[in-house]
Structure 1
Amino acid sequence: MDDRALLNIIRPVCGRETCSDDCAILPLSCGTLVTSTDMLHERSDFPQGMTDWQIGWMSVAVTISDIAAMGAQPIQILLAIGLNTEERLSGIVSGAQACCRKYGATYAGGDLDAHTELTLVSTGIGIITDGTPVRRIGAHVGDCICVTGTLGRAILGLSGDKRYWKDLCEPQPRVHEGIAVRTAGGTAMMDISDGLAISLYDIASESGVGMEISSIRIPLPLDAEREKALEAALFGGGDFELLFFIPENATSTLSIPFSIIGKVTEGSNITMDGEMLQKRGYLHHW
């Protein structure tokens, strides 16, 4: 069983909406808070060769990326650290602090404990004061399917291409871009940390729509072998770019770089170049 399948155990207890988005949503009189938490383990989440500074950075970045996918501004991060050796703490918290500072969040504390395997749990709070979060449920037939940035670099780095090692170890959450999509009228959004293909399926399931994308429109590293890069972008994960949906007439108001890779369709099929797209991506398995 994988982590998405396990959500079926949680949904009857907490409700479908609790399991449907990158963050929990808390409306307040002053705006809307969004909160997210992520657990990372050394063996499954930190490739051999990462520095402790990069581990701290990544642990914060994954949570900030979830906040960015709601179109929110991160304001506070808590980090619980289960240490396998105390000598690693300084590098980890330095990397975590650096990531917080870059994206305007406060590293506000957390918890420390001993653990047989290095394990970090980051919890983040973001805020929206001028609108509502962009959820996964809002994609409509006719919307443009769009992505930020260049996809596939993280898995290329993991596969041994040293040119992309930093892309893997120091992901850059798209906070500014997420806010821009929200204010421009984006209808649905999530980050692509588990791969493009499975992210398309996630949005389609929540929104009740189909999708058609074109492989030649997917932005890939120009200096990489195209088929390998396409496989990495579609199914590999590790890219902290945004997948978002927006009406065609609103794309002209976006002030950020982005690529239109397809359109939302009726039905439930997800196709690429006219063929069914495999539902595959990065998953934790038990």
Structure 2
Amino acid sequence: MDERGLHRLIGTIIAPERLEDDCAIIPCGDLLMVASTDMLHETTDFPAGMTDWQIGWMAVAVTLSDIASTGAAPGQILLAVGLDRPERIAGIMVGARDCCTAFGAELVGGDLDSHRELTLVSTGLGLVAPEHLVQRRGAKPGDIIAVTGPLGEAEAALIGYDHHRKELLEPQPRIREGQALGRAGASAMMDISDGLAVSLYDLLAVNDCGFSVDTARLPLPAGVPEDEGRELALYGGGDFELLFTAPPALLPVPGVTAHVIGEVIPDPVVLADGRPLERRGYLHEWKA
């Protein structure tokens, strides 16, 4: 079973609509607060060769990317560290602080414990005006499908294209782009860190329409053979771009690099070049 299957089980315990987005959405005066939590483990989430500074940076970046996908401005970050060796904490915390500073957030506290495997849990809060909130639900037939940058770069680094190591180890959440798209009126949006194909199926699960992409329009990782790059762009995880839908007339949006890769269609299917797209990407799985 993968994590999406477990989400369905959790949806029988808490309101299932609470599970539709990467962030919880909470009324906060005249604004909405968005909140997200992410857990990272060294053996599954931190590629070999990462510095402690990069580990701290990544732990914050994954949560900021969730906040970006709602169109919110980031606020506070809490970081809990299950620490395997005490000499690592300074590098981790400096990396976390530097990522917060780079994207307008503040590291305000957390928790510390001893653990056999380095484990980090980051929690982030952001604020957004209700009229600028973007969720996964909201796509409409006729909307364009677009992404904010190249796809497949992180996965390319994992398989040996070392010129993409920075994209893998020091991801850049698209905070500014998310806010601009929210203000402009994007109809649906999500972070794409689990891969394009899986993300399109996540959108399919909460919208009454389908998604058709043209693989010739995918922005591919530089320096990778085209066919291999297209496979990485479809199925590779670890990219921190935003996937969004919008009325065609919305583009261009100032400050946003948008690559249109397809369109929203009436039929509830996910297609690539007119054929069903395999649901494959980065998924946490449990074996029976």
If the TM-score is normalised by the length of the shorter chain, which range does it land in?
over 0.9
For residue 235 of structure 2, what is the aligned residue in structure 1? 235
Q: Which amino acid aligns with 1:168?
A: L
3-state DSSP class of the match of 1:139? coil
Task: Pick which of 200-209 and 220-229 moved more.
Answer: 220-229
- Structure 1 equivalent of residue 179 of structure 2: 179
CA distance in 2, matches of 1:17, 1:36: 15
* Partner SS, residue 8 of structure 1: helix
Residues 183-239 of structure 1: CA distance to partner in whole angstroms, max 9, x if unpaired? 111010001100001101111110121111101111012321112111112111100
> CA separation in 1, counterparts of 2:96 and 2:244?
27
Q: Deviation per CA, 1:57-116, whole angstroms, max 9, x where unpaired?
A: 000000000000001111100000000010100110010000000011010010000001
- Matched residue pairs, number? 286
Q: 5+ residue gaps in structure 1?
A: none
Q: Which residue of 2 aligns with 1:47?
A: 47
* Partner-residue secondary structure (3-state), 1:131: helix
Q: Distance between the aligned counterparts of 2:225 and 2:155, measured in 1?
A: 13
Q: Which residue is 2:212 aligned to?
A: 212
Q: Secondary structure at the match of 1:13?
A: coil
Residue aligning to 2:162: 162
Shift of 1:130: 6.5
Secondary structure, aligned partner of 2:11: helix
| Structure 1 segment 128-207 matched on structure 2, within 5 A | 128-129=128-129, 131-207=131-207
Query: Which stretch has the larger CA shift, 140-149 or 227-236?
Result: 227-236
Partner of 1:282: 282
The answer for the alignment partner of 1:81 in structure 2 is 81
Output the amino acid matched with 2:88.
R
Root-mean-square deviation over aligned CA pairs: 1.1
- After the TM superposition, which residues 19-38 of structure 1 pair with which residues of structure 2 at under 5 Å, given as runs? 19-38=19-38
Q: What CA deviation, in whole Å up to 9, does each residue of 1:156-203 have, x standing for no partner?
A: 011111101111011000000001111111010001100001101111
- Say which is worse superposed, 139-148 or 213-222, in terms of deviation: 213-222
SS in 2 for 1:18: helix
Structure-2 residue corresponding to 1:127: 127
1:90 maps to 2:90:
yes
TM-score, with length taken from structure 2: 0.97
Give the Cα–Cα distance (whole angstroms) in 2 for the partners of residues 199 and 208 of structure 1.
Answer: 16
Shift of residue 131, structure 1, vs aligned partner = 2.6
Q: Which residue of 2 aligns with 1:272?
A: 272
Contact 1:181-1:254 at 8 Å conserved across structures: no
Q: Provide the rounded CA distance (Å) in 2 between the counterparts of 1:237 and 1:27.
A: 32
User: Helix, strand or coil for the counterpart of 2:25?
Assistant: strand
Q: Which amino acid aligns with 1:89?
A: I
> How far off its partner does 1:251 sit?
1.5
TM-score (ref. length: structure 1): 0.98
Identity %: 51
Q: Is the partner of 1:109 in helix, strand or coil?
A: strand
- Return the alpha-carbon distance in structure 2 between the equivalents of residues 133 and 222 of structure 1: 33
Q: Which deviates further from its counterpart, 127-136 or 147-156?
A: 127-136
Matches of 2:212 and 2:78, distance apart in 1: 39
Q: Secondary structure, in 3 states, of the residue corresponding to 1:150? A: coil
CA distance in 2, matches of 1:210, 1:126: 30
Q: Secondary structure at the match of 2:239?
A: coil
CA distance in 2, matches of 1:248, 1:132: 18
CA distance in 2, matches of 1:151, 1:224: 12
Q: Secondary structure at the match of 1:27?
A: strand
Is 1:72 equivalent to 2:54 in the alignment?
no
| Structure 2 Cα separation of the partners of residues 18 and 53 of structure 1 | 33
Question: Could you say which residue in structure 2 is the equivalent of 1:15?
Answer: 15
Instruction: Give CA-to-partner distance per residue, 1:18-69, whole Å, 9 cap, x none.
Output: 1100100012223110000000000010011111100000000000000000
Structure 2 unaligned residues grouped into runs of 5+: none
